[in-house]
């Protein structure tokens, strides 16, 4: 694509207005929200200026043009993750998408269609002890509504789970296995192929939280063989307020929609309603049209650089971050060790200093990180700490960012008197 960078790192950094506005900023919070390149901002703004209208409603030229842009974005996003066009439904974010699956299964369990998704007492839902709350609480609620049991694979002292632990948590009554592709705390990369095989052995559905993988590595959901997946635009250099639910087409056509209303129906009487096929059956109400256009531009931007190149670059940055953290006395990382595969983030503990104080100290020096439990309280409880500090890289991250973090980290414990 014309005007797009060919390499990640400092070259890509020039595409992001944020860094022009904050030239000395060290932004290591991409795991929470990625910055947006001009190409994405301009694409969304251009649509709003010249093509903005409701979609799938009416027969006007304006509606037709807006609908074309909306559906073209869906097609490109689907291609980006190895999905068919009918296998991507827009959601508010990945959290919303995961809730759509769980709520649809709850409706199926209440007899509202989609019998294959119905759960009953004695059935099981299996997760890991490392899940983001978005891939835990919806399943807790589904278990409570249906009488199913929630089980999980435990994590060790580094916050890591194993496929053997996941297998031990499953049984012939397991109906759902839901895991994060990449942990947002430890950076552990799940053995998805093994998870899918395990799910098939027991006849369960595989649900993949792809929030921390879709922006950072090549992702082919069709080849992976998962049944459902969720990811968010704002972690992929795109807008907030929109995400995607992936589901195999035959499953989406049967899953009861979590939200109902206009735009997703065929026939409505005063007694009942019939729903459109996927993906429209999951897109009730007024759609996030400009956000979808921005989402499409974001995957275009990432694709132009190349996900293989992005993955290589971010893997190098992640190993550099890990090495930098562990060179600082009194600082220890959680998750995979040096040389082991990990996602593009490193969470760490500074002995004697609360993570929030670490984050404030770094922020005062122009370094943006994330602090807290990262929406993963059970995992932090297993780690024996209420919170960690997380440095997460993106396509624009550089070795200079790593050096700046290490230099500032060396000052933290002396500043707070924790080195005495």
Quote the crossing angle between the two packed helices 307-327 and 289-305, to the nearest 10°: 80
Rg (CA), the chain: 22
> 3-state class of 413 per DSSP?
helix
Residue in 110, 138, 302, 274 with CA at minimum distance from that of residue 213: 302
Give Cα 13 distance to the centre of its chain.
22
Instruction: Reply yes or no on whether 375 is catalytic.
Output: yes
- Look at the chain and count its residues: 420
- Choosing from 304, 375, 410, 418, the catalytic residue is 375
Residue 173 has which token pair? 């009554």
- Between CA 246 and CA 94 the distance in angstroms is 10
Return the DSSP state at 239: -
Q: Where does residue 198 fall: left (phi above 0), alpha (psi -120 to 50 degrees), or beta otherwise?
A: alpha
405, 25 Cβ separation under 8 angstroms = no
Beta strands, E only, 88-173: 88-91, 124-128, 149-153
Name the pairing type of β-strands 388-392 and 370-372.
antiparallel
Is residue 323 a contact partner of residue 405, using CB atoms and an 8 Å limit?
no
Q: How far apart are CA 243 and CA 222, in angstroms?
A: 18
Helices 61-80/289-305 angle, 10° precision: 40
Calculate ∠ Cα 231-235-241, nearest 5°: 75
Q: So which residues are the catalytic ones?
A: 375
């Amino acid at each position: 694509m014309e005007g797009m960078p060919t390499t990640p790192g400092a070259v890509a950094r020039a595409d992001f207005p944020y860094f022009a506005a904050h030239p000395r900023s060290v932004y290591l919070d991409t795991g929470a929200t990625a910055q947006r390149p001009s190409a994405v901002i301009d694409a969304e703004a251009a649509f709003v200026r010249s093509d903005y209208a409701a979609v799938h409603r009416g027969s006007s030229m304006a509606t037709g043009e807006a609908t074309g842009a909306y559906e073209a974005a869906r097609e490109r996003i689907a291609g980006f993750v190895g999905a068919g066009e009918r296998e991507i439904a827009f959601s508010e974010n990945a959290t919303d998408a995961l809730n759509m699956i769980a709520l649809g299964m709850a409706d199926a369990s209440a007899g509202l269609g989609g019998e294959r998704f119905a759960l009953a007492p004695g059935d099981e839902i299996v997760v890991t002890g490392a899940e983001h709350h978005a891939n835990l609480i919806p399943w807790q609620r589904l278990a409570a509504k249906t009488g199913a049991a929630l089980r999980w694979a435990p994590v060790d002292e580094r916050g890591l789970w194993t496929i053997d632990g996941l297998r031990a948590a499953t049984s012939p009554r397991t109906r759902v296995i839901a895991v994060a592709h990449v942990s947002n705390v430890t950076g552990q990369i799940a053995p998805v192929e093994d998870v899918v095989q395990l799910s098939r052995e027991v006849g369960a559905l595989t649900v993949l939280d792809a929030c921390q993988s879709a922006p950072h590595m090549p992702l082919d959901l069709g080849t992976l063989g998962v049944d459902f997946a969720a990811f968010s635009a704002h972690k992929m250099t795109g807008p907030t307020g929109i995400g995607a639910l992936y589901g195999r087409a035959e499953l989406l056509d049967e899953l009861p929609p979590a939200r109902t209303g206009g735009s997703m129906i065929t026939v409505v009487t005063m007694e009942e309603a019939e729903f459109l096929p996927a993906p429209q059956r999951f897109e009730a109400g007024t759609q996030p049209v400009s956000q979808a256009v921005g989402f499409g531009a974001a995957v275009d931007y990432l694709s132009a650089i190349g996900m293989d190149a992005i993955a290589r670059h971010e893997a190098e940055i992640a190993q550099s971050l890990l090495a930098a953290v562990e060179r600082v006395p009194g600082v220890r990382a959680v998750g995979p060790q040096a040389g082991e595969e990990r996602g593009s983030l490193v969470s760490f503990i500074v002995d004697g200093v609360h993570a929030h104080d670490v984050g404030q100290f770094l922020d005062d020096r122009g370094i943006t990180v994330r602090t807290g439990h990262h929406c993963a309280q059970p995992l932090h409880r297993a780690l024996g700490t209420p919170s960690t500090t997380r440095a997460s890289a993106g396509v624009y991250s550089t070795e200079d960012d790593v050096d700046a973090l290490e230099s500032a980290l060396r000052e933290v414990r002396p500043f707070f008197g924790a080195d005495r």
